[in-house]
Structure 1
Amino acid sequence: MEPAGGGHAAGAGAAAAPGGGMTHPRDTPRRLRPGVLALLLWTLAATPALSREVAATPDTDVARMAADSLEITADGALVATGGVEVLYRGARLRATRLVFTRGTDGAPDRLEITGPIVLEDGPDILVLADAAEMSADLRDGVLRGARIVLDRRLQIATRGVDRSEGRITRMERAVASSCQVCADNPTPLWEIRAARIIHDSEARTLEFERPAFRVLGVTLAVAPRLRMPDPTVTRMTGVLTPELRATSALGPGLQVPYFIALDSNRDLTLSPRIHARGSYTLGGTYRHNFARGRFFLDGAVTRDRLRPGQWRGYVEARADVALAPDTGLGLRLEAFSDPRYRSDYGVGEDDIRTNTIFVDQIRRDRLGRVRATQFRTFRGDDNALLPNRVLDARLSQRVTPPLLGGSAWLTLDALAARRDSSNPVMGRGRDVARLTLRADWRRSWITPAGVEVAALGALRADRWRVRQDDRFARTISRISPTAALELRWPLLRQAPGGATHLLEPIAQVVWARDRRDATPNEDSLLLELDEITLFRLDRGPGFDTQEAGRRVNLGLGWTRHDPAGWSVEALAGRVVRLRGDGHSAVSGPVSGPVSGPVSGLSGQRSDWLAAARLRTAGGLAFAGRALITSDGRSPRQEFRASWSGAGRQVYGSYVQIDPDPVQDRTRRTGELGLGGAMEVGRHWVALADLRYDLARGEPGTAGLGARYRNECVAVDLSLSRRFVSSTSVAARTEIGLRIDLIGFGARPGGPARGCGQ
């Protein structure tokens, strides 16, 4: 053991002398003169247990000691007193007195330590004790009157600690808890008392023999043996936190997940679940991470009284694989036994089953995608009449035209859709395939007056093959050129207070062939006028439709940035068609318009679009848009607002949509949403979410929740209610309760309670 230069931090002041010796204050015993000190260093170097480490290991493995007073007794023992501190292999020992005795006849070297003792064994283990007898390397020994703190969270108090093998710590008649313990109230919120607790620092486990779980001093459960992860563990095989859940259809229930760590990259979770009204479910989740991707499989099988004699369940699979740094393969598969299973068991509310496999490639100048999709709806539609098997592919490449300059995108898009029906009347069994080649080009200039002038162009060629639809020819071809001129005049003004105003009038004149071809429409059924589509040459969401005719897109944008940290953006605009018959010049299934009144694009003049966004430094955010007709009506409105700050978060939304026969919307719909989270005191958070159906005049869904977090426990309580029902979703009430004990496993806790709480 090599005495370190310098005194203990508490201070009796040994200071390092040049050449490695030590000088001491006047009250230090005279027997530690330089000659004796050299003898002390030789004695330590001659210690068998440590001399080999000093000679053969780097300085990081050398033991160092500092103390107020050092002496060697007649029998060769080293005695350190006053502010003793020893560092060895990442362990730090602080004590009042230490006696180092060299072993004889093969016996190991020993340390007798008098406390109070503080032993830090790495960053995760802290030991407090009154006295100890330990090996010279601080790995093994016996500690009396000890308290162990794991990961600065879980405390274990015991009468005696036996450390062996450098990894096993045995604690007799021990009490474990991560709760705050105060002098005036020594009973923790929860504790586990055991005849013995064994901590394995390598396996990172805690084993309790004859444990008793107590809450506020009252014993709630006992067991012969219990095995738990220590606070540093992120994943380990064992039982996870049970969940209590009650629903209106199934009654109260209990779910006890069991986690199986197959290896460092794979795990399996089995989740048996039982409800009082005769429901038995076994769920499972398998996860696998590998070098180039990940795989996820989730599912459950159920027997219940809701559908007697039937097996119910669902399965969902997801996979993502990196075929190359910029290319990925994805898989999304799902199936469920009946439309109501998901809503009955709270595993999702979507009533469309979708299976997809796709390959994506994303580069700086290229975007590629190939996707095969199969879906089935349970909303009451006839699946035989829907194109529920679709194959689509797209490849886009950005290029710089050699003569025109600017920037251009070349896009190749393909679509194939198949219906199960073979009825050709009104396209009930239509099968269609389309191939499209499209080129988009843009080049802009800035005039001396600051006006941005841009020339835009698009050329596309389409070809369809159609089967089982008597409204279309078997083969259809279309070539559609489009040209446009765009003017933007950004006007910037700096206000005296430092605010910046940007006013930007925008005008876009578009020419396209005024021809409406009879073409099938599979991917552009819903059109919308919004901030994104206002200045697009083709407002269709897909490739099957083509906006035709001459038109002018007009808009006025305004942005204000304030030095106080808030900003506002606003945009108003509309579309004016230079020729038309009072309908949207967008081709549809049989040369008819696909834009209804809700889209905002019907008529020779579109509705007015008004949109705004607001953000403040105080956490307020607002976004909204509305379509306004010439007579002042608003067929569509959407507003969303949120505010967060000072432990509170509030959000709200409002949506109102008029009837639209083009979208099969037979009645006016609307929804009001309100919700938020609020800190109630230091440890409580209240949660709420409400959806109100304005058309029905009744609530749609409602949810309330409470969350409690402190240093040793986490409680989540939830109450939710679905008021409406349909053929695939039933009205449902659910109550959930989950309690986690902080201190077992690497689960974060909340703020610590004070002793006055």
Structure 2
Amino acid sequence: MRWLAFLIVLIWPTFGFSQSAANLIADSVRLTADGRLVAEGNVEAFYGDTRLTASRVVYDPETDRLRLDGPIVIRAEDGTILTANQADIDPTLENGILQGARIVLDQQLQIVANQLDRQEGRFSQLYKTSATSCRVCGDRPPLWEIRAERVIHDDISRQLYFQNASFLIRGVPVIWLPRMRLPDPTLSRATGLLVPQQRNTNRLGFGLKLPYFITLGDSRDLTLTPYISPETRTLEWRYRQAFRNGFLRAEGAFSDDTLFDGTRAYLFAEGDFALSGGYQLAFDIESTSDAGYLSAYNYSEKDRLDSAISLTKVTDDQLFQTRLTFFETLRDDESRASLPPIVADLSYTGRKAGPDGSVFVYEAGLDAAYRTSNVAGDAGRDLLRAGGYAGWQKDWVLRNGMLITATTGARADVFAVADDPAFESVALRFVPSANLTLRWPLIQNSAGGTVQIIEPVAQLAWAESFGDRPPNEDSTRTELDRANLLALSRFAGEDAVQTGVQAAAGLVWSRYGAKGLDTTLTVGRILRQEADDRFTPSSGLEEAQSDWLIAGQIVAEGGFLFDARSLWDDDDGLNVADSRITWRNDWITLGANYIWQGPDASENRPDTISEWTVDSAFALSDAWTVDLDARYDIAADRPVSAGIGLEWRNECVTIDVSASRRFASSDTIAPTTTFGISGSIGGFSTGRAAGGLTTGCGN
């Protein structure tokens, strides 16, 4: 019969103990003639969520020692497990010797030793050790293991120090190291070497990356990655820092290679900080030494770089934002001086509710575009706009469910134009407007729980521009879509506004299935008094009668989404089509896009664009995952880029193999083929294996 025997002091800092009493249960407890306390038979000690079991425990008050007979098992709160055959330790369990010990750290790394010496309540010295995170099956050697003459585990720094260590694969020695330090799996950040990466390209040859991670405190770190190949000597770096009110991240590289005459470098940095008063400060920096550097080293596919700083404040009824942006082009056929390279904007928007349910809206803004080119005309024009808007809006809901929205307002702008004789140096513009929108949602509920909504929508709008016609800098690429079907002006910016009487009509059908299948279809069109040549032909908005907008979306359970939009002209048929599909669950991650656009000389597009892209990942099994990505130019009948990655993972090893090809070429970017391979072993914070197949112990 088991019974509650006594309370003992049980301390072991490795497992997060502090001096306190613990409950001990045993089949029998007796006090010998010489004063020793003996507990025998299914001995169990409990301290919080920590549990110790042994077959026999003897306490000798003269030597102040505890003798434990195995099998001994200690299960700590953090998941660490310690087993031993015998133990001779002090009552605090801070110093002692354990025979036939085994430690399992974070349910990942197990270390087996002939003997474990506990010292100073901090260090565990293990002799004749074998460490692995792989499953051990009888006498069969694990997939990998590290054998060492001695291993020291520091509980405070959470580091493992190996002496005279050998790395073995299926029992065969591969690497010998006299000394080695590795973080234990409970440590998330530690200075040391990260997983090496092999990279092989047709331009840079066979190369090796050796990332080294440096902790600079709890909130900062630096990663230095030497990249060495026959064609380059490169040092990559990354710096990260977290603040109480934001973060800073910067990365870059320096290269000396055979592809370019001189030193090459790039810098990408970003930061975001919450300031007092509700303001948010954000910035990003993008810079490179030459146009082909980012692509050659696969750092980025961007062909325009933008560096910006912004300040924003958002409240329930106010929005303030200002932004300064510097653009740098990497395109062969484009000059940075004529982009324009410097763009600045400042805006303020406020809303105030009236006593009758109406809303007053007021805005003020300042925009500037500056070109460093001195050429007169579009390539050298500088522009400054200052303006404001005031408007009123109110909604009415009729008894039959119809929603009527009335909006009226006016805006005034002043433009300063330089280096373009086609426009006045100072231009004034005043634009009053009015808008009336009707929506009539009709709802049907089926017995099975499906809900269908048919919503006819109609709009009647008017606007007129008085004064000068300024140049259009910020609204050169606008297309008809679901978001601007009922907008008063469909120009994306503030430099251009739609004028005259216009009407828009559409129909939105939505179905919300009882089993999670939701469908939406939108059809609409815009009618105006006259055509507007400021819109491009492929925008769907150039003619007095716009193209037909047909758009739809399907959302299903299991992470499936399909979205499509198209513009149809009465005479020429399809002008624009774009679609995307995403699907994500435990076995598949899929993202695919397709776009089709007809030729449009006003958008510098002499040829048809027809292109699809795919980015996907498939879990073939618990161990195998394949990644596929591709981009194909259907109009030119040629691939643009393609890549494949294969990963094999089990409980103790991860191996990644990849290959990619970029087919596109220009004067600064050449076709490149890249092969890569990397691997990591689980059980250490630098290479922990999450999930994956657990190998069995079958014959």
The alpha-carbon deviation at position 91 of structure 1 amounts to: 5.2
Counterpart for residue 729 of structure 1 = 669
The match for 2:160 among 177, 182, 206 is 206
For the Cα contact (< 8 Å) 2:10–2:19, is it kept in 1?
no
Question: What CA distance in whole angstroms lies between the structure 2 residues aligned with 1:684 and 1:299?
Answer: 33
Question: What is the CA RMSD across the aligned residues, in angstroms?
Answer: 2.1
Residue in structure 1 matched with residue 293 of structure 2 by the alignment? 341
SS for the counterpart of 1:521 is coil
**How many residues are paired up?**
691
- 5 Å matches for 1:120-199? 120-183=75-138, 186-199=140-153
* 1:13 counterpart = 2:12: no
Query: Are 1:292 and 2:233 counterparts?
Result: no
SS of 1:569's equivalent in the other structure is strand
Judge conservation of contact 2:10–2:20 (CA < 8 Å) in 1: no
Q: Which range is displaced more, 246-255 or 291-300? A: 291-300
**Conserved? CA contact 1:394–1:414, under 8 Å:** yes
Give the aligned residue type for 2:441: P
Letter in 2 for 1:168: F
Aligned to 1:469: 420
1:608 equivalenced with 2:608 (yes/no)? no
> How far 1:296 sits from its partner (Å)?
1.7
SS at match of 2:508: strand
> What amino acid is the match of 1:336?
T
Shift of 1:353: 2.4
Summarize deviations over 1:118-140 as a string: whole Å, max 9, x none. 02344243111111111112222
Give % identity: 37
Displacement of 1:326 in angstroms is: 2.2
Distance (Å, rounded) in 2 between the aligned partners of 1:623 and 1:607 = 19
**Which residue identity does 1:416 align to in structure 2?**
A
| CA 1:645–1:417: 2 relative to 1, 3 Å | closer
Mapped partners of 2:466, 2:570: distance in 1: 27
The separation in 2 between residues aligned to 1:101 and 1:387, in whole angstroms, is 86
- Whether contact under 8 Å (2:681, 2:689) holds in the other structure is no
CA contact (8 A) 2:52 2:74 kept: yes
Structure 2 length as normaliser, TM-score? 0.95
Aligned to 1:25: none
User: Do residues 280 (structure 1) and 233 (structure 2) align?
Assistant: yes
Contact 1:333 1:355 in 2 (8 A): yes
Match of 1:444 among 380, 395, 420: 395
Aligned position for 1:63: 22
Cα distance 1:674–1:73, how it changes in 2: closer, same or farther (>3 A)?
A: same
- In structure 1, the gaps of 5 or more residues are 1-11, 16-21, 23-40, 52-57, 585-592
CA shift in 2, pair 1:122/1:736, >3 Å: same
Amino acid of the structure 2 residue aligned with 1:188: P
Instruction: Indicate the residue corresponding to 2:571 in structure 1.
Output: 631
Q: 1:210 to 1:70 in 2, by over 3 A?
A: same
Q: Structure 2 regions of 5+ residues with no counterpart? A: 12-16
TM-superposed CA distance for 1:385, in Å, is 2.1
Q: Secondary structure at the match of 2:574?
A: coil
**Contact map agreement 1:91 1:138 (CA 8 A) in 2:** no
Q: Is the 8 A contact 1:358 1:369 kept in 2?
A: yes
Q: Secondary structure at the match of 1:662?
A: helix
One-letter amino acid of the structure 2 residue matched with residue 353 of structure 1: L
Give the 5 Å matches for 1:398-409. Answer: 398-401=351-354, 405-409=357-361
Task: Kindly state the Cα deviation for residue 618 of structure 1 after the two structures are TM-superposed.
Answer: 4.5
In the other structure, the counterpart of 1:652 is 592
Kept in 2, the 8 Å contact 1:526–1:594? The answer is: no
Q: Secondary structure at the match of 2:275?
A: strand
Kept in 2: contact 1:151–1:231 (CA 8 A)? yes
Moved more, 256-265 or 731-740: 731-740
Are residue 225 (structure 1) and residue 184 (structure 2) matched? no
Larger Rg: 1
* Residue-by-residue CA offset, 1:298-321 (whole Å, 9 max, x unaligned): 11111111114x111111222222
Residue 382 of structure 1 corresponds to 335
Call closer, same or farther: CA 1:60–1:173 in 2, change over 3 Å.
closer
Cross-structure match for 1:327: 279
Measured after TM superposition, the shift of residue 382 of structure 1 is 2.0
Whether the aligned pair in 1 keeps the contact of 2:589 and 2:616 (CA below 8 Å) is: yes
Matches within 5 A, 1:549-588: 549-577=500-528, 579-580=529-530, 583-584=531-532
Structure 2 counterpart of 1:78: 37
Give the residue type in structure 2 aligned to 1:384.
A
- Is residue 2:439 matched to residue 1:485? no
Query: d(CA) in 2 for partners of 1:159 and 1:289?
Result: 44
> Distance in 1 between the 2:26 and 2:636 partners?
81
Write the deviation string for residues 664-710 of structure 1: whole angstroms up to 9, x where unpaired.
11111111223422222221111111111012101111111112222
* Separation of aligned partners in 1, 2:129 and 2:277: 54
What corresponds to 2:478 in structure 1?
Answer: 527
Amino acid at match of 2:648: Y
Mark the CA change 1:60 to 1:168 in structure 2 (over 3 Å): closer, same or farther: closer
Moved more, 153-162 or 487-496: 487-496
Q: Who is 1:252 aligned against?
A: 206
